A and B are shown apart, each in its own frame.
Chain A
């Protein structure tokens, strides 16, 4: 049986999915990268591998997320894609009629507008991460409520308090103020959810026309309070897909399948031994070739140099032989 692996290495989590040749999800894993994407990739792959029967074979690999270049080198990826395209492909393969995708992840949030299953317009948060998962994480830690239960607390509220949504720092000081005044914690959390929704619509949505069906995905879609707040503010039903947290990975797995099936190019996937047995190390140094003083990163497996990046002039990047580099080309 041919299977396709999709990997999404984001700022907070690493997501892994395995699709069969009909695009059905066979296994999935959501794990926190905890600042060590290399280990997350090795652990994630090992988990997926252990769940495989002997007859299944990985026939293609797609990677996405801000750590996609690293993942491409460690795994050998057939498709290296940005998160926006990956999320759009995943949502439209599950919900062909989708017209709006709201995606909120660890450090970024996006809106994708689709018309006839084609991306028509999109936007991503630019300078501010106030409405994203990291901020929710921080607040749940401060209130000592596990992030998994955050949404359940929120929907218990009957009357959300007003919290400023303009900026994460202001939101936090508002929350502390309301908490010291004695408002119930559920109402404060629901107020935070509504503030984040307003922040998202102003900073990311920026007047784009949001039409149903709306799909809400990304790690933050786990929060039932946010789903309720979006539904209330937009006055539209909000759909959260079953595998909302790994949609990016599903998207690139679908793209990897399309690529392999259409191009007849064999996969460049490097296999179990390469990933599981190797000792991957990275090293950084400053290049003194010119006044740019670029910070160069070198990725090594045991003693073999796999990649350089970080140099503006491409002196280091191109020092590795051409065929190896071509496989890593990001399109």
Chain B
């Protein structure tokens, strides 16, 4: 059995560790590229959102590389996503690929169910081996996230922006290759220390909250790396979603680390009192949360046609007025030109900076 899975940000590092621990041969899809987009767009329904198209592209590329089993999340939510595994299976079958699809009926179900499903995929894995590998994958996930958070902190503050990105990319590769916990820890520590050493500037750092649809937030190639772009303008971007928090809240029932999911849902009141599908309510709650933490501005992102985010967007106008925080919304689909996106972001950052200091940043 040669197993593969869809990309979502840096999650592949932890998933790979998990599946390898279950004694499976893993063939991760190649990194998301223009080719992935083209394959996905060509073979998906036109009105589907970008995440589905990228998934399809991932699967085709992995199957071409020899994978014969796909693991995909399913379930009854959180939005159209609940059907994506089935649709993707149909699309790939129509294209003539021969493969098995394992759909983890995970999100928000009971943790025991998920663990049972995962263990069932494994090849003769004992219970203790299974627990150990889950723990190890969780550790890799958290180490990767330490790097991500460090980059978010350093990138807007350093003058060596390219260098910071390089250290981060190399750090990820080393964590991916590491064979045990000690190696992971060592490489994480090294990369963090290297980033800390980069020279910094003294300019004022703006704080931006990035909210919206989870895939678009976590997968940089689905949002044209806008977080790094804003960091280039000396704005620190804090995401509303980190992979480990999502796994903790939705897969592990909030048991592994303290969760602020309930607090976020509460913050959405009185602006949005009901679930509107997807993470629409979380988006509103996070906007309120960022505003109350005195962030300078909020950027909402999502794939074009994302209904939950459209609902949230219509509520954000009121949040922006009442909580006194500027909001901007960007939807992403297949563009080849990034100029329009960057022009709007630059204008947004200028606006925030002028409000803050009365100055427009020139070179």
- Complex interface: chain A residues within 8 A of B348 (CB): 122
Residue A42 at the chain B interface, CB threshold 8 Å: no
- Tell which of A89, A124, A329 touches B360, judged by Cβ atoms closer than 8 Å: A89
Closest to A62 in B: B362
Residue B351 at the chain A interface, CB threshold 8 Å: yes
- Tell which of B343, B351, B363 touches A259, judged by Cβ atoms closer than 8 Å: B363
Residue B326 at the chain A interface, CB threshold 8 Å: yes
Shortest beta-carbon distance from A330 to chain B in Å: 8
Residue A323 at the chain B interface, CB threshold 8 Å: no
- Tell which of B30, B354, B355, B362 touches A291, judged by Cβ atoms closer than 8 Å: B30
- Tell which of A121, A263, A292, A314 touches B34, judged by Cβ atoms closer than 8 Å: A292
Residue A119 at the chain B interface, CB threshold 8 Å: yes
- Contacts A207-B317, A291-B34; is A78 near B363 (CB within 8 Å)? yes
- A-B contact number at CB 8 A: 78
Closest to B320 in A: A121
Residue A293 at the chain B interface, CB threshold 8 Å: yes
Residue B339 at the chain A interface, CB threshold 8 Å: yes
Residue A46 at the chain B interface, CB threshold 8 Å: no
| CB neighbors of B among A253-305 (8 A) | 255, 258-259, 263, 290-294
A85 close to B350 (CB less than 8 A): yes
B350 close to A119 (CB less than 8 A): yes
B339 close to A331 (CB less than 8 A): no
B362 close to A78 (CB less than 8 A): yes
Closest to B362 in A: A259
- Complex interface: chain A residues within 8 A of B104 (CB): none
- Complex interface: chain A residues within 8 A of B331 (CB): 126
Residue B113 at the chain A interface, CB threshold 8 Å: no
B360 close to A255 (CB less than 8 A): yes
A118 close to B355 (CB less than 8 A): yes
- Contacts A290-B33, A314-B162; is A82 near B326 (CB within 8 Å)? no
Q: Mark A90-110, 1 if CB is under 8 A from B, else 0.
A: 000000000000000000000
Residue A136 at the chain B interface, CB threshold 8 Å: no
Residue B233 at the chain A interface, CB threshold 8 Å: yes
- Complex interface: chain A residues within 8 A of B317 (CB): 207
B343 close to A82 (CB less than 8 A): yes
Residue A41 at the chain B interface, CB threshold 8 Å: no
| CB neighbors of A among B307-363 (8 A) | 317, 326, 331, 339-340, 343-344, 346-348, 350-351, 354-355, 358, 360-363
Residue B201 at the chain A interface, CB threshold 8 Å: no
Residue B135 at the chain A interface, CB threshold 8 Å: no
Closest to A85 in B: B350
A83 close to B343 (CB less than 8 A): yes
B363 close to A85 (CB less than 8 A): no
| CB neighbors of B among A111-126 (8 A) | 118-122, 124, 126
A331 close to B162 (CB less than 8 A): no
Residue B35 at the chain A interface, CB threshold 8 Å: yes
- Complex interface: chain B residues within 8 A of A85 (CB): 346-347, 350-351, 360
A-B contact pairs, 11 of them (CB 8 A): A66-B343, A79-B362, A81-B360, A82-B344, A82-B346, A118-B358, A121-B351, A122-B347, A124-B340, A291-B30, A291-B36
State the B residues within 8 Å of A (CB): 30-31, 33-36, 162, 233, 317, 326, 331, 339-340, 343-344, 346-348, 350-351, 354-355, 358, 360-363
